[in-house]
C-alpha cells in the first residue's frame, strides 16, 4: 500500500487503527534492522523499534504530508538510536571506546558470526566507527539509501555524507586488513 493511502486512511478516525497497523507492517523490518545494526542486541532493538512506532503514532497527525513518510520514520529511528547510545554513555560514564567494546562483546555472541571470520572482522570494524559515521555507513552500505534521502534523515549536506561514507570505508578496510595481519 502506498504511503499516501495509509496517511489518508489515518486521517479517518474510524480507519486510523487499521492504517497504523498497515504502516507498522510496511516499515517494521526496515526500522528494526536499522536500529539493530546500531545497538546489536535484539532486546534493545525491540524496545527501540517499539519506541519509534509509538512516536510515529503520537506525531503522525502533525506530519507534513509533502515530506516523505519513509525518511520521516527513518529520522525518528536514527534519533532514537543516537539518544540510546548517548544515554548509555552518560548513565555509566563510559567513553566512546567502552560502548564500542560492549557492542563488540555482544557481536561476538551473535550466532550468525560463527564460521565467517571476515564477516566478523568487518562487523567489528564497523563498530569502531563513531556513532554518526556508523549510521551513515549502514544506511548507504546495507540499506541502499540515496545520499539525498540520507540528507533529509540526518539534516546533513550531501557532500558531507559522501565524505563521511568514503572515510568510513577507508577506516574499515584498514582495520580489517590490520586485524587479518595480527591474527
Partner 1 sequence: MNTPFRLDDHKRRAQPLAPPPDRYFEQLPARVMARAQPADAGGLASTWGWLQQLSAPVRSALASAVVLGGFAASFWLTQSAPVATSGPATVLAAVPQAEMVQYLLASDQRVTLTDLAELAPAPSGMPETYLQASPDELQDALDSQPSDEAYY
DSSP assignment letter at 61: G
Of 145, 144, 140, 128, nearest to 164 by C-alpha is 140
Measured from the CB atom, is 91 or 181 closer to partner 1? 181
The single-letter DSSP state of residue 60 is G
∠ CA 109-144-22, nearest 5°, is 85
Q: Name the one residue in this structure whose C-alpha cell is 532493538.
A: 45
Pairwise CA distance, residues 178 & 4, whole Å: 49
Q: Is position 46 an interface residue for partner 1 (rule: CB under 8 A)? A: yes
Which position among 4, 87, 112, 146 is part of the footprint of partner 1 (CB under 8 A)?
A: 112
Number of amino acids touching partner 1 (CB under 8 A)? 39
Cβ at position 93, least distance to partner 1 in Å = 28
Which of 144, 134, 135 minimizes the C-alpha distance to 171?
134
If the CB atoms of residues 64 and 182 are measured against partner 1, the closer one turns out to be: 182
Which positions lie near partner 1, rule CB under 8 A? 17, 20-21, 24-25, 28-29, 32-33, 36-37, 40, 42, 45-46, 49-50, 53-54, 57-58, 107, 110-112, 118-119, 121-123, 141-142, 169, 172-173, 176-177, 180-181
Amino acid at each position: 500500500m502506498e504511503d499516501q493511502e495509509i496517511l489518508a486512511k489515518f486521517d479517518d478516525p474510524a480507519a486510523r487503527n487499521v492504517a497504523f497497523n498497515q504502516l507498522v507492517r510496511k516499515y517494521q523490518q526496515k526500522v528494526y534492522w536499522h536500529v539493530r545494526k546500531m545497538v546489536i542486541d535484539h532486546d534493545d532493538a525491540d524496545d527501540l523499534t517499539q519506541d519509534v512506532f509509538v512516536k510515529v503514532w503520537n506525531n503522525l497527525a502533525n506530519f507534513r504530508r509533502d515530506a516523505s513518510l519513509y525518511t520521516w520514520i527513518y529520522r525518528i529511528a536514527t534519533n532514537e538510536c543516537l539518544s540510546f547510545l548517548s544515554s548509555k554513555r552518560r548513565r555509566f560514564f563510559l567513553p566512546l571506546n567502552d560502548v564500542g567494546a560492549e557492542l563488540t562483546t555482544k557481536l561476538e555472541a551473535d550466532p550468525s558470526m560463527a564460521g565467517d571470520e571476515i564477516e566478523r572482522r568487518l562487523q567489528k570494524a564497523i563498530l569502531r566507527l563513531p556513532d554518526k559515521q556508523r549510521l551513515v555507513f549502514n544506511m548507504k552500505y546495507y540499506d541502499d539509501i540515496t545520499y539525498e534521502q540520507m540528507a533529509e534523515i540526518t539534516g546533513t549536506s550531501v557532500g558531507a555524507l559522501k565524505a563521511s561514507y568514503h572515510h568510513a570505508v577507508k577506516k574499515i578496510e584498514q582495520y580489517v586488513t590490520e586485524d587479518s595481519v595480527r591474527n
